[in-house]
Structure 1
């Protein structure tokens, strides 16, 4: 249950060579991530976002298959969080979204994301 000042969101994360941690559940040794440029990660997340926005893909399905975050096993669901719990660019983007909206590309130390506010 959310308290006031909290949001609920899901996200899709694509890591790249500049990400603070180079491993993920899909790439445990980080070799693929280390070989991915930021531009390639942006191109991938842009294509993913476009497919979701036109109804070609469902956010949760894509998150489960392609997100580099362990939240992928929950369709990208991060649950509820408040200010100061996420990286600032991620937090700022999430708090500006209306429920059901999907963000533009958000760049953090973890990689590039798209965020869907769910609560």
Structure 2
């Protein structure tokens, strides 16, 4: 079992998120959970069409990691919110998750290492 993983993510927040402000982009988040879910589904379609994960993360992700193309670096168990951590550790390097809901919002996770 891997003791650590490296992952990137694209995060869309909603008004019910733990911190409903996009501090990275300096704007309040006003979308509902359903709107965030629809946004993540649009992201999945763009990824399926061949757009680069890091480019979409820089454009849309509402996390400071957007500046690095969504790269969160390496982390071990206990460092991330449980739903995010569980999804990241279940992926193989190069695999992408479906939508993952955490207290922060809705993510698409790409395991990179």
Shorter chain as denominator, the TM-score bin is over 0.9
Residue by residue over 1:32-64, the C-alpha shift from the partner in whole angstroms, topping out at 9 and shown as x without a partner, is x1x200000000011101210231x11000000
Between Structure 1 and Structure 2, how many residues are aligned?
Answer: 111
Partner of 1:114: 108
Higher relative strand content: 2
Partner of 2:82: 88
Partner of 1:54: 49
Pick the aligned partner of 2:3 from 2, 5, 15. 5
Could you list the runs of 5+ residues in structure 2 that have no partner in the other structure?
A: none
Give the CA RMSD over aligned residues.
1.0
Partner of 2:32: 37
Could you list the runs of 5+ residues in structure 1 that have no partner in the other structure?
A: none
Aligned structure 1 segments of 4 or more residues deviating by more than 3 angstroms: none
TM-score by length of structure 2 reads 0.94
